[in-house]
Structures are given as structure tokens and as C-alpha cells.
Amino acid sequence: MKVKRTSRYSSILLKNKVLAACFLAFTATGVQGQTLTGEMGGRNVTIDSTLTVSGKDTKPTQWTPSLTDEKPPLMLFQGFTLSVDVLGAGMRALTDYGTLEAALRLNLKNTYFPIAELGYGDCDHTDDNTNIQYSTHAPYMRIGFDYNILKDKYQANRLFVGLRYGISNFNYDVSGPEMSDPIWGGAETFSQSGINCTSHWLEVCFGCQVQIWQNFHMGWSLRYKSELSSTHSDFSKPYYIPGYGTTVNGSCWGGTYNLIFDLNWGKKSKKK
């Protein structure tokens, strides 16, 4: 009987040692998501291999933002901007034509910007080859919209693409030196004043707006202009259209450099 008891305890001890060795080897491999079941001390024991090895936690493969990380949507009306163009005024001071222009732009969700531009065009030009003189002084108007193509709509800086429709009704004067009649002889001065004209054109715009300090911004725009229609007199075609530019070609390029006051409310909708 004594031999049998010793054999029984030896068998249990051997089994426990084997199970303990298996447990140590299993946890050392760091295999996750598996279990080990066996008998220890007469009891059934289950070992979970998802225990952390050497104090290292498993890292998630992808970060998913919670609802608290999402920015609330912007309200529709975000404010407006007032701007003046200093490039047109500088051109009038340095050349024989230029503009004085101001603009009002509405802000919808920091994405869509309806705009109205009002200005006054001025030109006094004399052709160097023909000595023909042309002058006009008249207002003009452009309406259109800009679209902010930047992905982040919450920042103060913006990058625009836009479209404009322009119109100007103006009178112009044109005169030239004496011209000799090759058939009947004699000479006569060419001069016409108060010729009325109405012009329509389209502009495709690209530009930016950068915050300088608080609500004060600066920006520029580059514009490709195409004349739609202009009324012509029997005597001449207008050399310069206020707000459009010269009419030497069927289309022309233009630009603005603006000082901007941006009243941006930055209101956001309440998160649902």
C-alpha cells in the first residue's frame, strides 16, 4: 500500500510539472487569443494566452476618430469682406489708363463667395504712330462668385477660382490729326465726341487671400477676360472699356491686388 501511494503522488507531481512547463513555454511565445486547459492538483485549470508579455500592449492597426474629434459644421452665413484694389490705382498713376475699384463679397460656409465689384475706369491715350487720341471716364460693374478650393474650410487663408460677368455703359471721345483727301485734295481734322457704347464681358479668375493681422487680409487675383459684345459707332471702335481694359485683341489678361477687411463670424452649427 505504501508503494502505491508513493506512485500515485509521483504521477500527480509529474503531471503538474509537465503542465507548468507547458504554461511557461506557451506564454513566452506571446501567442494571443489561445487557451490551455489541463488538470492541476486534482482540479481542471484553464490558462488564457492573451496575457500581456513583458509589459508590452498590442497596438491597434488603425485609429478611428471619435465623435468628439469631428468639427461641427459651419452655419450658412459666415460674414462678408470689403476690399479695395490698389493695382488699378497704381496703373492709373503710372500709365495712361487705370481703375478705382471696391468689392463686397459674402461668405457662405467659408466655401462659396458671391461678389459684387464696382469701379470707375479712366483712360487718356494717344497712339504713338497715328497720333489718334482716345479718352473715356465711366463707371462699371462686375458680379459673380468665388469658390474656395482649399480642403480646410476653417482656416482664415483661402484659395479661389471664380467667374465674373461685367458691364459698362460709357461715352468716349476720339480725335486725330489732319488727314489729306487723296482724290479731292484738301485736309480735314477727324474728331468725334460723346460716342455712346455698352460693353459686356466674362472673366475667369484665380486668386488667394491671406490673413495679415486679425481681420485685415491681403490678396491678389489673375483674370482672363473675353469680350462678349460692344455697340460700335459708324466712326470708330472703343480702344478702352472701363473695367475690361484695352480692346486690341478679342481677349485680354488683367489682375487685382487687394487690401481686405474680413468680418468672419466663424459660427458653427450645434452638434447633434
Best CA proximity match to 225, nearest among 242, 245, 208, 248: 245
Best CA proximity match to 97, nearest among 221, 203, 246, 247: 246
Helix (H) or strand (E) holding 3: helix 2-28
Q: What are 15-72's pLDDT values in tens digits?
A: 555 555 555 555 555 444 455 455 555 555 555 544 444 455 555 555 454 444 567 7
Domains of the chain and CATH, by start: 2-51 (no CATH), 77-264 (2.40.160.20)
Please check the confidence at residue 203 and state whether its pLDDT lies above 80: yes
Q: What are 205-248's pLDDT values in tens digits?
A: 999 999 999 999 999 999 999 999 998 887 788 999 999 999 88
Best CA proximity match to 205, nearest among 161, 241, 236: 161
Best CA proximity match to 173, nearest among 149, 147, 194: 194
Neighbours of 259 (CB within 10 A): 14
Cell numbers standing for residue 69: 474629434
Neighbours of 209 (CB within 10 A): 23
Q: What is the pTM of this model?
A: 0.70
pLDDT on residue 2: 47
CA distance 48 to 36: 7
